[in-house]
Structures are given as structure tokens and as C-alpha cells.
């Protein structure tokens, strides 16, 4: 049983080694094999103490033999040791063939040459062992990161919905494999809770905190009584982690058929395009980020409050993360909020998907993405009366 487990472990290790080398680009593979070839190309010459002379083609053939055998051993270590059944006989045969053309060597220096070959060979074994071991670790780490990235994409899927009163469009583009931004829409009956959150930093740790925020958001949104204290509850959970370095900014909007209200926790202002005056207004109440040490707020009794906002037909809300606004140009200047305000004014009636594409293109033109870029666009539409069923009063007759 132990022998079977040992064979299984060796098989798993070899499989992970192969996965590591398969993950390399063709150029990286070529670079590695070229390095091995050049490292061992002079071995045949060193073995004779560099005292042998001969025609140029013989020197070139000896160099090619040494390098090719080393590459063969490397491929065997990477893919399968069964390749040695071809590499060893081919190497020995080529060596014996070249021996027929080699001039005699000085025996006083030949022993030193073999010592040099032995040292090079031992160093090569250690080199391959190191690469294989670290390669396995790299594959395991990359597998975990890829899994975390898959989970993140499931938790933050693209949003594109149309309800009776709203058009919704949301996207989150992570700057690494795993992002720390959240964009979510939770609908309960005729009430729609919209949220964009930004966990400090990015990567796996930020992704884990983001998942906690999403879980808390969904659980609280299901309870009408707990909803007014939604951000306070999330703040309490994050604060209880006891790490002041972990905090989250958030912007939330609750939309009902006849009203809307918003709350902000240390986040960028919500951009509100108001169709009635064709102007963009910034909605902000300056709350602290979630997870900041609660004693900072308890001293003055502050808490997260919700504010009403009139959201009429044709109005658009844009909830952004600072991954958009803090993009830097070549001179180190931030993009800021003003370009997005102008875009909302100029394209307020455009499809939300087109509006998002313009936002993303504008950020890309300004500079390189350095942080997760997330946006949620919301447009209030006039309620439409569904057509009456055939045969019902007022229904058109055939």
C-alpha cells in the first residue's frame, strides 16, 4: 500500500512538472533548451583538457554532441525518463564514432578534464532538481490563483438587465487574476439594491474580503428591517477582523418605483445625470470606509445614513471605482471624475453598453490600468403598461 502511494506521489509530481513546462511560452522553452545546450556544448572539449586538435568539423561535431545529449537529458526529466532509452544509446554511438577521428590527448590533463565534466554534470543535476521543485510549486500556486479567479468571476458576473423601471449595466475588469471590486444588484420584489464596492488592494486577499462583502450584502438585502443598517452591519463584520489595513469603500443605491435613496462609505461620489436640467450632480455624504476602526466613529456617534434622491425618467446614475479615475497619463496626472461627467452629459441617451465602452476607451487612452475598474450604470425609464391579454376588457380584437 505504501509503495502504491509512493508511486502515485511520484506520478503526481511528474504531472505537475509537465504542467509547469507546458505553461511556458514557446520562446521561454527555446531559451531554456538553448541555455542547457550552450552550458554543455564545451564538455567534450573540456574532457580532454582542451589539448586535442583536429579539423574544424570535428570540433563542431563534438560541441554539437555534448549540447544535444544535455538537451536530451533535460527533455527526459521534463516529459518522461523513458526518453533516455534513445538518448543514451544515441549519445554513446555518436561518441564512439567521433573517437575514430580524435587525435591522442595528453594523459596529464585528461584527468583534470574529466573532473571538470563531473562538476558541470553535478551542477546540472542540481539545477534541474531546483527548476522541477520550484516549477511544481509555481504550478500549484497558479492553479490556486486560477481557481480563485474563476470564483471571483462567478461572484462578480457581468450585469445587463432591464426591469419595469430600470436599465442596468455593470462590469468589473480586474487588474490581476483576482480582483477586489464588487458590482452587484439584489432585487427583492419591487425594490432594487445596487452596490459597487472596492476592497483596498487587489489579488487573492482582496478577493476573499470582497466575497465576504457580497455575502453580507445579499443576506442583509433580504431583510427589510435590516436594510437601513446595511453598511453599519458590513462595517461591524470587517472591523471585527481586527486588521486596520483591511477596509472597503462602497456606494449603494436603493431604488423603488416611487423613490430612491443612497449611502456612501468612503467611496467616490455617485454621478447623477438629471434629465430635467441636463446636468450632472455628485451625490456624496462623506462616510468613512467600511472596516475602519469603529472607535474612530463611536467617539462622535457617526453612522452611515441614507439620503433621498429624486430619480426621474431619463436620469442616469454612474457608480465608479477609483480604478477609472486614478488612471495616470505619461505626466502622472489623474483622469479624475470630470471627463466621466462630460461623457454622461453628452451621451445620456446612448445605450448603457455603449456608454460603458466609451468610459473604458477613455480610461485606456489616458493611461495604463493599475487597479480594478468597475462601473454600474443605471437609467430610470418610464413605466410601460403591458399589453392586455386577448379577450380581456380593452384588448384589441382580432
Q: For cell 462567478, name the residue.
A: 154
Identify the helix (H) or strand (E) that includes residue 170: strand 166-173
User: Judging by DSSP bridges, how do beta strands 166-173 and 373-380 pair with one another?
Assistant: antiparallel
Q: How far apart are CA 231 and CA 225, in angstroms?
A: 13
Residue spans of alpha helices (H) in the chain: 2-23, 26-40, 43-46, 56-78, 84-99, 107-155, 204-221, 230-239, 295-298, 322-325, 338-346, 352-366
pLDDT band at 279 (very low <50, low <70, confident <90, very high): very high
Beta bridge partners of 107: none
Specify the pLDDT at position 96. 79
Q: From 334, 323, 361, 335, select the one nearest 202 (Cα to Cα).
A: 323
Query: At CA 217, angle to CA 211 and CA 219, rounded to 5?
Result: 105
Q: Which residue has the higher pLDDT, 6 or 247?
A: 247
The whole-number pLDDT of residue 122 equals 66
Q: What is the pLDDT of residues 372-389, one digit of tens each?
A: 889 999 999 875 544 444
Alpha carbon 205 to chain centroid, angstroms = 12
Residues in Cβ contact with 69 at an 8 Å cutoff, skipping those fewer than 6 apart: 40, 87, 91
Residue range(s) occupied by CATH 3.60.40.10 in the chain: 157-380
The more confident residue out of 345 and 48 is 345
* Residue 143 contacts residue 177 (beta carbons within 8 Å): no
Which CATH number describes the domain made up of 157-380? 3.60.40.10
Which of 53-67, 115-129, 358-372, 375-389 has the least mean pLDDT? 115-129
pLDDT at 115 over 80: no
For 388, other C-beta atoms within 10 Å of its C-beta total 11
Amino acid at each position: 500500500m505504501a509503495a502504491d502511494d509512493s508511486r502515485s506521489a511520484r506520478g503526481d509530481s511528474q504531472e505537475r512538472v509537465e504542467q509547469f513546462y507546458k505553461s511556458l511560452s514557446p520562446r521561454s522553452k527555446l531559451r531554456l533548451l538553448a541555455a542547457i545546450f550552450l552550458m554543455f556544448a564545451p564538455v567534450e572539449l573540456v574532457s580532454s583538457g582542451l589539448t586535442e586538435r583536429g579539423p574544424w568539423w570535428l570540433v563542431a561535431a563534438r560541441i554539437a554532441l555534448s549540447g544535444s545529449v544535455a538537451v536530451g537529458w533535460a527533455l527526459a526529466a521534463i516529459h518522461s525518463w523513458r526518453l533516455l532509452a534513445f538518448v543514451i544509446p544515441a549519445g554513446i554511438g555518436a561518441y564512439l564514432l567521433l573517437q575514430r577521428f580524435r587525435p591522442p590527448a595528453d594523459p596529464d590533463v585528461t584527468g583534470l578534464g574529466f573532473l571538470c565534466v563531473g562538476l558541470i554534470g553535478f551542477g546540472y543535476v542540481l539545477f534541474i532538481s531546483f527548476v522541477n521543485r520550484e516549477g511544481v510549486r509555481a504550478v500549484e500556486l497558479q492553479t490556486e490563483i486560477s481557481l480563485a479567479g474563476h470564483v471571483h468571476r462567478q461572484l462578480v458576473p457581468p450585469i445587463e438587465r432591464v426591469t419595469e423601471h430600470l436599465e442596468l449595466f455593470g462590469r468589473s475588469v480586474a487588474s490581476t487574476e483576482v480582483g477586489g471590486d464588487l458590482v452587484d444588484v439584489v432585487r427583492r420584489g419591487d425594490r432594487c439594491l445596487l452596490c459597487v464596492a472596492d476592497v483596498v488592494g487587489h489579488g487573492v486577499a482582496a478577493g476573499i474580503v470582497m466575497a465576504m462583502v457580497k455575502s453580507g450584502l445579499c443576506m442583509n438585502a433580504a431583510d427589510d428591517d435590516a436594510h437601513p443598517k446595511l453598511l453599519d452591519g458590513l462595517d461591524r463584520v470587517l472591523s471585527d477582523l481586527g486588521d486596520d489595513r483591511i477596509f472597503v469603500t462602497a456606494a449603494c443605491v436603493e431604488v423603488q418605483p416611487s423613490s430612491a435613496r443612497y449611502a456612501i462609505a468612503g467611496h467616490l461620489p455617485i454621478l447623477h445625470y438629471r434629465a430635467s436640467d441636463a446636468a450632472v450632480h455628485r451625490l456624496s455624504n462623506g462616510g468613512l470606509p467600511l472596516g475602519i476602526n469603529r472607535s474612530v466613529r463611536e467617539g462622535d456617534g457617526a453612522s452611515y445614513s441614507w439620503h433621498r434622491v429624486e430619480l426621474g425618467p431619463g436620469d442616469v446614475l454612474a457608480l465608479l471605482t477609483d480604478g477609472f479615475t486614478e488612471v495616470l497619463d505619461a505626466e502622472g496626472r489623474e483622469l479624475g471624475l470630470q471627463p466621466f461627467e462630460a461623457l454622461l452629459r453628452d451621451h445620456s441617451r446612448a445605450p448603457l453598453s455603449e456608454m460603458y465602452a466609451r468610459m473604458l476607451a477613455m480610461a485606456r487612452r489616458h493611461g495604463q490600468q493599475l487597479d480594478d475598474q468597475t462601473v454600474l450604470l443605471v437609467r430610470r425609464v418610464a413605466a410601460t403598461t403591458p399589453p392586455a391579454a386577448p379577450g380581456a376588457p380593452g384588448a384589441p380584437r382580432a
